Amino acid sequence: MPASQSRSRARDRNNVLNRAEFLSLNQPLKGNQESRSSGRKQSGQAGAAGAQNNNPKERRQSQQLPEEDCMQLNPSFKGIAFNSLLAIDICMSKRLGVCANRASSWGGARSMINLLGITGHGIPWIAGTLICLVKSSTLAGQEVLMNLLLALLLDIMIVAGLQKLAKRKGPYDINPGLLDYLTMDTYAFPAGHASRAAMLSKFFLNHLVLAIPLRILLVLWALCVGFSRVMIGRHHITDVLSGFVFGYLQFRLVELIWMSSNTCQMLISIW
């Protein structure tokens, strides 16, 4: 045993790496270890701090992204129904736009359909009402005409406001005419011609004594004016139907704020 121990000691002495100047190669210094450990701790703390700072954003994203994915992949029944009806409305409106341009199937009748639409425009009706009001000599006639003028002005303002809010374009890219710009009827929803025709037909049916054939013709005129706007590609079907509804509501509004004969005479005298 002593001989073997002496031999191992001799080997250790003869080993070059066991010398003092080569100890750093075998065993790293404590200072380096401490600096490395401290560097690791600092980097770990910085990473933890960064993770803590980024955690709220990541949590928000993790909370929002699944919901967005669910909304896209699993839309609600109302959303599906609304989009389906909207697609049907656009498709049917494009098919019924037979006079949208000269190259359409009924392009030759475009001028006649435009003329039918002018009969439901606001400017001719306002001008005609003013002329009749000037020439009218009866109190009852002046009362009806003043309230009709009020209804026409309300129709223009209400439809223009609703169109500015909705800003819906028509099924075809057709520029509005000069009369449309004068009455601010530049968008599709709701159809101003349809609302005006419905309001006028209901107004005349209530305040004029007309024979049954004339009543039928008046209703048919309102329907033709409304759907003529679909034929020339200016409005969708739902725009025209909503225009009919708004026209009836405007008539009910005028009935609620109906101006009496004395009020009408006072306004006429001021004018």
CB contact set of 139 (below 8 Å; sequence gap of 6+) = 261, 264, 265
- Per the domain annotation, does 260 fall within a domain? yes
Confirm if 199 and 226 have CB atoms less than 8 A apart.
Answer: no
- Per the domain annotation, does 75 fall within a domain? no
- Per the domain annotation, does 130 fall within a domain? yes
Closest C-alpha among 188, 223, 224 to residue 89: 188
Catalytic-role residue among 121, 207, 235, 236: 235
CB contact set of 144 (below 8 Å; sequence gap of 6+) = 207
- Per the domain annotation, does 170 fall within a domain? yes
| Cα torsion 13, 17, 22, 26: sign | negative
Instruction: Tell me, yes or no, if the pTM score tops 0.75.
Output: no
193 given a catalytic annotation: yes
pLDDT band at 245 (very low <50, low <70, confident <90, very high): very high
pLDDT score of 228 more than 50 = yes
- Per the domain annotation, does 155 fall within a domain? yes
- Per the domain annotation, does 67 fall within a domain? no
pLDDT at 89: 84
Q: What is the pLDDT of residues 131-158, one digit of tens each?
A: 999 888 889 889 999 999 999 999 999 9
- Per the domain annotation, does 25 fall within a domain? no
- Per the domain annotation, does 257 fall within a domain? yes
Cα separation of 51 and 32, whole Å? 28
DSSP 63-117: HHHHHHHHHHHS--HHHHHHHHHHHHHHHHHHHH-TTSSTTSTTGGGHHHHHHHH
Q: Which range marks the domain in which residue 196 is found?
A: 109-270
207 given a catalytic annotation: no
The number of folded domains in the chain is: 1
pLDDT score of 53 more than 90 = no
pLDDT score of 171 more than 90 = no
Closest C-alpha among 185, 123, 118 to residue 153: 123
